Amino acid sequence: MKEILYDDLIKGMQLPDMTYALTDDVIDKYLEAIDDLNPLYLDEEYAKKTPFNGRIVPPISMAIYSTVSSVIKPLKQKTPPGLIHASQKFEFTGLVRPGDELLIKTIVEDKYEKKGRKYVVFKSEVFNKDGQKIGTSWLSPIWPK
């Protein structure tokens, strides 16, 4: 698989859309990995009695599908070795429920050099099956070549 280089990424470039299904299996493995036993995420009967009216998915689970490898994957290319995750910011604007299929739209929002390092800023907007935006992620890796 060919590496995607810094010069291949153009400011404003739209990456191919992705879909991501938040199945019970994916959610359970994520909750186990982060050791979160919140009944709001696990117990439908408990969650129905809350203002959320049923189970929800932890908002930070957006980190699962907004990694550099995830946003690059649809290009059928790989990141070069030495990539450094510099920063990531999230904005949560809606609820995600178990079983939702999410649509992720990603653009190269910015590119810049600072102190001899090459940065790329990916902005990913995440939508639920009803087309409602449920979150945005800004991911900034340092690109090695």
Indicate whether this model's pTM tops 0.85. yes
Residue 93 — φ and ψ, nearest 5°? -130, 0
- With residues binned 3-state (H G I as helix, E B as strand, rest as coil), the percentages for the chain, rounded to 5, are 25, 35, 40
Instruction: Give the pLDDT mean for 75-89.
Output: 94
Q: Over the chain, what is the mean pLDDT?
A: 94
Domains of the chain with CATH codes: 6-22+57-143 (3.10.129.10)
Q: What is the pLDDT of residue 31?
A: 92
Average pLDDT over residues 101-110: 96
pLDDT given for residue 105 in this prediction? 96
SS (H, E, C) 77-115: CECCCCCEEEEEEEEECCCCCCCCEEEEEEEEEEEEEEC
Contacts of 28 (CB under 8 A, 6+ apart): none
